Structure 1
C-alpha cells in the first residue's frame, strides 16, 4: 500500500473513559471488529472494517480523567520534525513533541491558532487507513472552528493544501485539495453551534443508510445534533456517541442537488 501524500488524512483515533463501551458502540454502529491491544502501547486498540484497518480506540491516559472523549485526525507527513517546526512557525502549539511509536511511526499532536486539536503521522510499518470511502470506514473530515481566518492561514502553511472556498453567502466553507483532489475541509461555526462547543475536527464515517445509523446511535445512548440532511455529497447527520465524542455519519450514495461552486 502506497504511503499517503503529505497532508492527506491518514488515520483517526479516540480515547475513551470506557474502552469496552466504545467498542460495543462502534462495533454495532459501523460493524467494526477490534484487536486486543497491548499493555506496552496503553491498550491502543485497532478497529477493522472487513478486516481492513479503519480507526483505533484506546482508554484515556492517566491524568486525563474528566477530559471529554473526542475523535482525533492525523494528517500524513514525510517528516514529523519538519511538520512540528512548521506548526510552531505558523502560530500553532505542540501538545506532544514528535514521538516515535515503536516501529509503527512517529506522531505529533498540536493545536492550531484557532484552537483545533489535530495530529500528524510519519508512517513506519503502520501507514494508516486500509479502507476509506466505504460503509464502516473514514469518509471525510472538516476543521470546524469559529475563527476561520486563523485556520485558513495556518493549515495551508503547514501542509501543501490548495484552497478553494465555496461561493455561498450562508455558509463559510473551504475545501483543501492535494494534487487537485479534495482531501478535507474547513467549516466556520455559526450561532447554530452551542457556545460551549469547542473547535474540533469533525470526522465523517461512511454508512449504508444514514437514517438507520441515526436510529442506532440513539438506541445505543448517543445523540443526534443535526440532520439527517440531504446534500450533493451524501445524506449526512451530526451525532455523538454515548461518551460524548462528536462525529458525523454519511451515506455517500444518496446525493441530492447540484454540487456547489468553488473559487
Structure 2
C-alpha cells in the first residue's frame, strides 16, 4: 500500500496524532527518525501540525494548550466514520464511553474521542477537506494499528457492533489475537486486535514503516528516544518497539508485503 487520495472505509484507521510538551524537540526527533516534514501550526487550530512523508500526510502533532491539563502522551488512532453523531450513538449502545463529543475542526473534518468498554482509548474522524493518511506502508508512514483490549471477546464484540468490523480466525494456541477488517474487506487486514497481559492497561498501538529497523532504532536512541524492545524478526517482517521524547510508545517495522483482494 502506498499513496492514498480518497477517504478511508468506515471503521478503518484513518489518522493518528500525538500531544507533545515541546514542539521543537518532538519535531526534530521525528524528522531525524522518519524524515518527516511538518506543516501548519496555525493559531486558529491551536498550533496543530501535520507531518508529511514524500509529500503525503502521515500523522499529526499538537502542542500543549494554555490553561489545559497536560494530556496523555500517546499516539491516538482515529477510525474513519461517515456520520459522527450516529457513530457516537453506536459506540454508546455498544458499551463505549465518550471522552470528547464530536467536534468540527474547521473545514477539515469532525473528530471525537472515546474509550472502548475495556478501557482502550481511540478517536474517530469524519473527513472533510482532510481525508486522513495520504500514505501508508512506505518508509515514514503508518504501517500497522492494533487495539490491545482488556478482554478479547468483549473488545471484538464492541468494535463489531460499533464499527462493523469482521475478523480473521484467532491465532492458534494461547495467544488471543486476530486481524480486523472493514465491511467487504477480504481477508480482514486493516489492523489487529489482541488482549493485554494481566496488569497492563488496554491501549491502541501504531507502528511506522521504515526501510531498516536497526538503523531507525539507532536514530531513535541518538535523538532523545529509547528502544524498549530490541529489533527482532517475526512472521510479518522485522519489528522494534520505541518511545519518543515524551515517553510515547510506537513501533518500527519493516513489513513483509501481505496480499489483499480489495483496495481501500
Shared fold per TM-score greater than 0.5: yes
Q: Does the Cα contact within 8 Å between 2:119 and 2:150 map onto a contact in 1?
A: no
Q: Using a 3 Å threshold, how does the CA distance of structure 1 residues 99 and 254 change in structure 2: closer, same or farther?
A: closer
Partners of 2:161 and 2:17 lie apart in 1 by: 24
Tell me the alpha carbon deviations over residues 91-127 of structure 1, each in whole angstroms, 9 at most, x when there is no partner.
1111111111101011111010111110111111100
Structure 2 unaligned blocks of 5 or more: 259-264
- Pairing partner for 1:222 from 222, 225, 230: 225
Secondary structure of 1:236's aligned partner: strand
The residue aligned with 1:238 is: 241
Q: Does the Cα contact within 8 Å between 1:93 and 1:113 map onto a contact in 2?
A: yes
Partners of 1:204 and 1:93 lie apart in 2 by: 25
- CA shift, 1:153, in A, is 1.6
Secondary structure of 2:86's aligned partner: helix
The residue aligned with 1:259 is: none
Secondary structure of 1:35's aligned partner: strand
Q: Does 1:134 align with 2:141?
A: no
The residue aligned with 2:193 is: 186
- Pairing partner for 1:88 from 92, 97, 104: 92
Q: Using a 3 Å threshold, how does the CA distance of structure 1 residues 227 and 156 change in structure 2: closer, same or farther?
A: farther
Secondary structure of 2:190's aligned partner: strand
Partners of 1:240 and 1:211 lie apart in 2 by: 15
Which one is further off, 228-237 or 83-92? 228-237
Q: Using a 3 Å threshold, how does the CA distance of structure 1 residues 186 and 62 change in structure 2: closer, same or farther?
A: farther
Which one is further off, 180-189 or 55-64? 55-64
What TM-score do the two structures reach when normalised by structure 2?
Answer: 0.90
The residue aligned with 1:22 is: 26
Secondary structure of 1:230's aligned partner: strand
Q: Using a 3 Å threshold, how does the CA distance of structure 1 residues 253 and 153 change in structure 2: closer, same or farther?
A: closer
Which one is further off, 109-118 or 213-222? 213-222
- CA shift, 1:54, in A, is 0.8
Partners of 1:7 and 1:60 lie apart in 2 by: 29
Structure 1 unaligned blocks of 5 or more: 256-263
What TM-score do the two structures reach when normalised by structure 1?
Answer: 0.90
CA RMSD of aligned residues (A): 1.7
| Structure 1 moving runs of 4+ over 3 Å | 62-68
Secondary structure of 2:217's aligned partner: helix
